[in-house]
Amino acid sequence: MPDITPAPDGLGRRVALNRERLGLSREELAERSGIPPTSVEYIEENPVGVTDGALSHLADALDTTPGDLLAGDVERPLDDEPPPPKELAPDECMRLIAPGGVGRIAFDGPAGPSVLPVNYRVHDGVIVFRTRSGGPMDQDLRTGVEGVEMKIGFEVDRIDETRREGWSVLVQGPVHHVAPEELPSVAGVGVEPWAGGERDLYVRIAPSRITGRRILAS
């Protein structure tokens, strides 16, 4: 008989939170984990126990560990002071964001400062996302001066609200609209547009400054 992992409060919520932060649907998580979509839905919405194997498959599909899916449900006093954040080296920052998922771009647009979510992938050391050619984001990210690229911010975080720990990475650098002749170098990265629909313009951010912070529960 397989070992059953007891269901701590919030296991399903933690699975759903990690799935959403990776930009995955329940069907996509089911495909990545080998667990039926109906089972993924049931795990997310009910306090059920899961086998060690199922927990391991879910953790692998969510780019985390079984311990992280379970241990986040340990109670912690709200007034308990968290330890100071730890600065992360650039290579560690890139390792954390390498699996891809959902990030945010920040820039000064015509209407003022803007922060927008994007699905992204890391390819050959640059951040790649997609938008609609000629659309508002396409226009907002252009300087209007030939040969001059806009510098923007790109942020990714993973926050465990229950344990009050997590990390945040900020990448700053020029944004480059990928020309048709450059498409073969990025079209195979598998990034899907956040907003869906016809989003045929690939955009790259070349990191010029990478910083990050991590807070661990004491």
Structure tokens at 38: 């109906």
Q: How far apart are the first and last CA of the chain?
A: 37
Q: Is the pLDDT of residue 139 over 80?
A: yes
Give me the mean pLDDT over the 115-136 stretch: 89
CA angle at residue 149 from 147 to 153, to 5 degrees?
170
What is residue 106's predicted lDDT score, i.e. its pLDDT?
Answer: 94
CA dist., res. 4 & res. 165, Å (int)? 27
What is residue 190's predicted lDDT score, i.e. its pLDDT?
Answer: 82
User: Taking a C-beta distance cutoff of 8 angstroms, is the pair 129, 191 a contact?
Assistant: yes
Question: pLDDT for 159-204, tens place per residue?
Answer: 876 667 889 999 999 999 888 888 887 877 888 887 766 778 899 9
User: What structural domains and CATH numbers belong to the chain?
Assistant: 4-71 (1.10.260.40), 86-215 (2.30.110.10)
DSSP lists the bridge partners of residue 174 as 151
Question: SS3 letters for the chain?
Answer: CCCEECCCCCHHHHHHHHHHHCCCCHHHHHHHHCCCHHHHHHHHHCCCCEEHHHHHHHHHHCCCCHHHHHHCCCCCCCCCCCCCCEECCHHHHHHHHCCCEEEEEEEEECCEEEEEEEEEEEECCEEEEEECCCCHHHHHCECCCCCCECEEEEEEEEEECCCCEEEEEEEEEEEEECCHHHHHHCHHHCCCCCCCCCCCEEEEECCCEEEEEEECCC
Q: Is the pLDDT of residue 75 over 50?
A: no
Percent of the chain with pLDDT over 90: 29
Which range, 49-53, 65-69, 121-125, 162-166, has the best average confidence (pLDDT)?
121-125
Confidence tier at 5 by pLDDT (50, 70, 90): very low
Which residue has better confidence, 81 or 61? 61
pTM (2 d.p.): 0.61
What is residue 74's predicted lDDT score, i.e. its pLDDT?
Answer: 40
The pair phi, psi for residue 103, each rounded to 5°, is: -130, -175
CA dist., res. 217 & res. 68, Å (int)? 12
